[in-house]
Structure 1
Amino acid sequence: MPVSHQPDKKFDRLRRQAEQMINPNRPLDVSSPDDILELIHKLQIHQAELEIQNEELKRAQLELSDVYHQYEQLYEFAPCGYVTLSPKGLITRINLTAFNLLGTPKRKILETAFSRYLTSACQGSFLEALRKAGRIGEKQRVEMQLKRKNGPPLWVRADITADRDKNEVVVQWRVMLMDIAREKDAETQIRQLNQTLEQRVAERTAELEQRAGQLQQLTFDLTQTEDRERRYLAAILHDDFQQQAAFIKMTLDRLNSRPDADMQDQLVRLSQFTGEFIDKMRHLAYTLNPPMLKHNGLLAALKGLASDMLLHHGLAVTLRAQAEAEPVSPVLASILYRSIRELLLNVVKHADVNTALVEIRIRNKRTLIKVTDKGKGFDYPAARNGKGCMPGFGLYNIEDRMLFLGGSMQITTKPGKGCRVVLTVPREISTHSNAPLKPSRTATGKQSTASEAVGPTDRPNGENAVRILLVEDHQLIRKGLIGLLHSHSNLTVVGEGVDGLEAIKLADRLRPDVILMDVTMPNMDGIEATARITRRHLDTRIIGLSMHNDEDTRQKMINAGAVAFLAKTDSPESLIETIHRVNRDLRK
């Protein structure tokens, strides 16, 4: 490898001076022996300088020789192969690693075309890389296979660089070869593994999707079972315990009118206790199975929930909901209702505020619910990692339900910064069946749709007596009401019915003055029966009766045509006074 050195400037100056001094055509300016001595002295100095420069050149040459020898050692034994090609692509120089890669003795390699050692499929790409390296002057990289006499072709990576002269003409190519057989084998193995892995992933994904579908279905089945049990328990509370307690209260109130003062005090206390007991059972039944959720859907039930939160917990809930956000599935509606209720109860227990915001809307075919408060918040990451107190164990249950249904739950909160919980769930989720489990009534005394004895009571009344039709599907309540009404000589029960259909037939036949109409009954409820009767008999007054003493039920009965609405647990005096009042209004 040729090496050029730039002569030292000082050495050039000395050489020019020496040439001038020994120029035979130049006369020597020597006029005295002293001048000759001075000239000799200068020549001696120049001679010493030349000798020093000569020694420096010798040392530089020795160092250069050592460097060149090291370069030769590195070049020859480098871990990658080096090949130098002539402009025609002939091999002019090659190191030991390249020999081993080509697998041919050196004497047979030099001055041969490099392309002859490549497989036919790789020759074109190699020549194209040569031309491109010479054309644009940049290193080109290509992967190719070398032919081997005693084995399969060998994969190598070639980095090709063109050396060009000042006229940009290629004088040689330098090719660096790197054995990539192991890399190619690894790529092949990885490709095969990827194919196998993709197949396994596809199989596992299909299996997981099937399991997820099964899990989602099980979640819905579980929720349906819970809802059926809730409805069953609520039905028992409403249809049995509350009705029996109401009958007890009616009886106590009647007995309370007796003159025994000591007995009267005890009866008053028992009546108050029974009333509180009924209120607690009513609230429990409402909590277990809100009637509005079943009859009017989620959004109406949430309005009732907001009223309940304000009444019982002092929490003012603002509800913002899109009408189209009403869930299609009643099971999903039940899940969302109970989740929102649990979140609002957490606000009551932990947020230390008296306001909350509930937002419901549809986004990308998913139902999105936000429950926000501006309370004291909490450290959610710490609570999530078990280092803090997680407000409301129900949050975990809510999150599990959302995940099982293909949704999610996100909590954004910091101490002192309030809390926002965002629930998302698919809008439509299929279920096997939404049919409710109807609890048996035969064991608890509530009658089926079979008609009771209908007609005038055995107790005759005067012509001015108010004629009353009693429509109530609970036998005990009918018995208690009949006993109460019989205690007043100006009231007479002309007939009894057990559902809305019988109420319509009896109203047509008996033409009563007043109808005491229960709201919740089989076959046809009291709201529908009231609407039909009031359209056909303008002179009949209907008083609604219900164990659910809520504003929504009251308003529906009034809208259907009832002139009054009472709870079954209201005092007997209220019922008697209401009957006389609506009858007086009728006769005016």
Structure 2
Amino acid sequence: MTLKLKNEAAFEALRKQAEQVIDQRGAKTADGVELEMLRLLNEIEVYQVELELQNQELNRSTKELEAARNDYFELYDSAPVAFVTVNSQGMIERVNKAAARLLAQSGNLLEESLFARAVHPADQGAFFSYLNVTDKKRSSCEMRLRGKEDQPLWVRFMARSVFDAQKGFKGWRLAIIDVTERKQQELSLQKAQGELERRAAQLARLSLELTMAEQRERRRMAEMMHDHLQQLLAGARLNLDIASAETVADQAPAFKNAYDLILQSMEAARMLSTELSPPVLFRQGLPEAFGWLARWMKKTHALDVEIQIDEEDYPVEEAIKVLLFQSVRELLFNVKKHARTDSARVAMTTEGAMIKVVVSDNGSGFEPQHLEQSDCETDKGFGLFSVRERLVLLKGTFEIESSPDSGTTVTLTAPMHTGAFTQPQRRVETVEDVSQERCAMRRPRRESANKIQVMLVEDHLVMRNGMRAMLSMQTDIDVAGEASNGAEAVALARQIKPDIILMDINMPVMNGVDATRIIHSELPDIRIIGLSMYEAADQAGAMKQAGAAAYLSKSSSSDILLAAIRQYGKVGRNPKPVKTAGGVRA
């Protein structure tokens, strides 16, 4: 193969260098010189061939590199992900086609434009903060770019820092993915979630309002029986007491039968009124309400209920209090009907802003998974299904643990306050609002040192007239005045200062407990006897704490009431107890 050197000057330089090397080595024979020259020429030819081969390899590699570069840029430009190279000054140096299309929606930004102009003004601070984080700490982030017609584009950024050969910072390479569609779906989902939560809150309010509507109707019917039917029956009984004094002997059995029927009717009406709407539920707290429920279950259903409460005061919203009371009563009904046991336990605690009530028994138990279907099919009114649904709507819980022959434990939790239901505010009239003219029911006091001066406080006219007529027949008792509510009672007591006040409890404007507290604090020598249609155990404690000397049921006989008046009207501050059949003794 004949090879020709491309650079003759280089060849001559090599030749001279070879000759100098030979001269430095000393004298040579002609044959030796010729041999050395041939050897050097052979080496030169070898190097020449190697250079040619290297040049061919370099050309091939250059073509491959160029092809790879073209493939890379084709892939770079055709990639669905937007790629942007930004220098250290924030100027755009290079973009692919996807980035060009994306940036076109942000104002036709081209190379050598400031990239920050494409970022939505509200997100520019976050964008710069994101770039200033090191690569190790920097992950992806989502923010907005400017869009057409003030519609921002949501994108996901992924940035990497770029350095030169000397490790000097040059800028960033940004990968940008358009997530506008997904973001819109997320926003739509959030909106739907918000609407769902709003509807759930609305359902919770409706659930509470339904609970309170049920209870208001129960309370209305109970008050109707208490304020009208029971009062009429009590008035009839008083009139029978009065008439019996003038009854001939042959009519006495008929009067007694009528009297007994009235007492039975009063007791039946009182029990029905109390079952519909226990007064203790509204006048006191949950602990007292559960205590009443335990006594009532024992009396009416022979079920012993143990109450365990770790606090005295539970500041629970009234609607929640009613819901929990009804729920526990329903659970105790189920214990009596299905558990085949004569005892149960109710425990109440608080957990932060939640109140927790656990109802348990050691009865027959059941399979909880069978409850939902059977309860849905048979639920009427306030059944277990209703209890669970109402609690869940309030973000509470209803959990059942049970198995055959192993008893049942039901755990209820509910927020103590929801803000979803507020009772309408009603102005409570104060004593100062009651003028002397409004005490129109008072009677002029007849001064008599030998008579007990009694003031009647009763909002029901029939009952008040009956008591007045009965007391007027007594030679040692004088009705000094009358009032129809607690506020009038306080004003009248200050004026006439009677010996005895017969104080009804359930009255408008101001109830008997509050009136008793005020009168006793100002006029401690006045003896106050509380009267009510309700059970003694439910109201006696509050009246005695307010300062009442005694508490009697209106269903008690007239003789018991007269004995109490005479006892407390004649003796000092600490009279002996008055033994009664239907009331609480002092």
What TM-score bracket applies, with the shorter chain setting the length? Answer: 0.5 to 0.7
Match of 1:138 in 2: none
Shift of 1:375: 0.7
Task: Specify the SS of the correspondent of 1:416.
Answer: coil
Match of 1:240 in 2: 228
Alignment of 1:150-549 (within 5 A): 195=183, 197-323=185-311, 326-386=314-374, 394-431=383-420, 433-435=422-424, 450-456=438-444, 463-549=449-535
Q: Distance in 2 between matches of 1:374 and 1:209?
A: 39
1:119 aligns with 2:65: no
Shift of 1:311: 2.4
Q: Distance in 1 between matches of 2:457 and 2:466?
A: 13
Moved more, 332-341 or 272-281: 272-281
Inter-CA distance 450–462: structure 2 relative to 1 (3 Å threshold): closer
Task: Specify the SS of the correspondent of 2:349.
Answer: strand
Q: Distance in 1 between matches of 2:416 and 2:547?
A: 37
Q: Distance in 2 between matches of 1:377 and 1:358?
A: 17
Shift of 1:312: 2.2
Match of 2:559 in 1: 573
Match of 2:569 in 1: 583
Shift of 1:323: 2.9
What letter matches 1:493 in structure 2? V
* Uncovered stretches (5+) of structure 2, i.e. residues with no partner: 1-59, 77-176, 428-436, 576-586
**Conserved? CA contact 1:545–1:567, under 8 Å:** yes
Shift of 1:194: 5.3
Inter-CA distance 466–396: structure 2 relative to 1 (3 Å threshold): same
**Conserved? CA contact 1:350–1:391, under 8 Å:** no
Shift of 1:484: 0.9
| CA shift digits 1:162-209 (9 cap, x unpaired) | xxxxxxxxxxxxxxxxxxxxxxxxxxx998885565344223212211
Q: Distance in 2 between matches of 1:299 and 1:194?
A: 53
Q: Distance in 2 between matches of 1:294 and 1:545?
A: 19
| CA shift digits 1:429-480 (9 cap, x unpaired) | 1135312799xxxxxxxxxx953332237xx796522221111111111111
Q: Distance in 2 between matches of 1:251 and 1:325?
A: 43
Inter-CA distance 461–384: structure 2 relative to 1 (3 Å threshold): same
Q: Distance in 2 between matches of 1:329 and 1:244?
A: 35
User: CA RMSD, aligned part only?
Assistant: 3.6
Task: Specify the SS of the correspondent of 1:323.
Answer: coil
Shift of 1:584: 3.0
| CA shift digits 1:303-345 (9 cap, x unpaired) | 2222222222222222223438724311111111111111112
| CA shift digits 1:475-515 (9 cap, x unpaired) | 11111101111222222211111122322332233232222
What letter matches 1:419 in structure 2? T
**Conserved? CA contact 1:353–1:374, under 8 Å:** yes
Inter-CA distance 386–455: structure 2 relative to 1 (3 Å threshold): closer
Inter-CA distance 388–408: structure 2 relative to 1 (3 Å threshold): closer
Task: Specify the SS of the correspondent of 2:345.
Answer: strand
What letter matches 1:235 in structure 2? E
Q: Distance in 2 between matches of 1:248 and 1:413?
A: 52
Task: Specify the SS of the correspondent of 1:424.
Answer: strand
Task: Specify the SS of the correspondent of 1:417.
Answer: coil
Inter-CA distance 262–436: structure 2 relative to 1 (3 Å threshold): farther
Shift of 1:387: 10
Task: Specify the SS of the correspondent of 2:412.
Answer: strand
| CA shift digits 1:136-155 (9 cap, x unpaired) | xxxxxxxxxxxxxxxxxxxx
Q: Distance in 2 between matches of 1:284 and 1:532?
A: 32
**Conserved? CA contact 1:228–1:436, under 8 Å:** no
Task: Specify the SS of the correspondent of 1:119.
Answer: helix
Q: Distance in 1 between matches of 2:552 and 2:278?
A: 19
Q: TM-score, normalised by structure 2?
A: 0.62
**Conserved? CA contact 2:536–2:552, under 8 Å:** no
Q: Distance in 2 between matches of 1:119 and 1:396?
A: 66
Q: Distance in 2 between matches of 1:333 and 1:253?
A: 42
Shift of 1:257: 3.7
What letter matches 1:271 in structure 2? Y
Task: Specify the SS of the correspondent of 2:480.
Answer: strand
Inter-CA distance 230–117: structure 2 relative to 1 (3 Å threshold): same
Q: Distance in 2 between matches of 1:482 and 1:388?
A: 55
| CA shift digits 1:325-372 (9 cap, x unpaired) | 724311111111111111112112221222211122222532222111
Q: Distance in 1 between matches of 2:375 and 2:284?
A: 43
Q: TM-score, normalised by structure 1?
A: 0.62
What letter matches 2:557 in structure 1? S
Inter-CA distance 117–385: structure 2 relative to 1 (3 Å threshold): farther
Task: Specify the SS of the correspondent of 2:395.
Answer: coil
Inter-CA distance 505–389: structure 2 relative to 1 (3 Å threshold): closer
Task: Specify the SS of the correspondent of 1:263.
Answer: helix
Q: Distance in 1 between matches of 2:535 and 2:352?
A: 39
What letter matches 1:279 in structure 2? E
Shift of 1:548: 1.3
**Conserved? CA contact 2:398–2:412, under 8 Å:** yes
Q: Distance in 1 between matches of 2:241 and 2:74?
A: 107
Alignment of 1:49-60 (within 5 A): none
What letter matches 1:508 in structure 2? R
Q: Distance in 1 between matches of 2:310 and 2:68?
A: 74
Inter-CA distance 465–405: structure 2 relative to 1 (3 Å threshold): same
Inter-CA distance 308–385: structure 2 relative to 1 (3 Å threshold): closer
| CA shift digits 1:534-576 (9 cap, x unpaired) | 3333432221111112313112222222222111111111111
**Conserved? CA contact 2:441–2:484, under 8 Å:** no
| CA shift digits 1:380-431 (9 cap, x unpaired) | 2224344999798711111121122222211111121111111122332113
**Conserved? CA contact 1:530–1:557, under 8 Å:** yes
What letter matches 1:352 in structure 2? R
Inter-CA distance 482–368: structure 2 relative to 1 (3 Å threshold): same
Task: Specify the SS of the correspondent of 1:569.
Answer: coil
Shift of 1:241: 1.1
Alignment of 1:126-141 (within 5 A): none
**Conserved? CA contact 1:383–1:389, under 8 Å:** no
Match of 2:550 in 1: 564
Moved more, 346-355 or 428-437: 428-437
* Uncovered stretches (5+) of structure 1, i.e. residues with no partner: 1-107, 124-188, 439-448
**Conserved? CA contact 1:499–1:524, under 8 Å:** yes
What letter matches 2:326 in structure 1? R
Task: Specify the SS of the correspondent of 1:360.
Answer: strand
Task: Specify the SS of the correspondent of 2:566.
Answer: helix
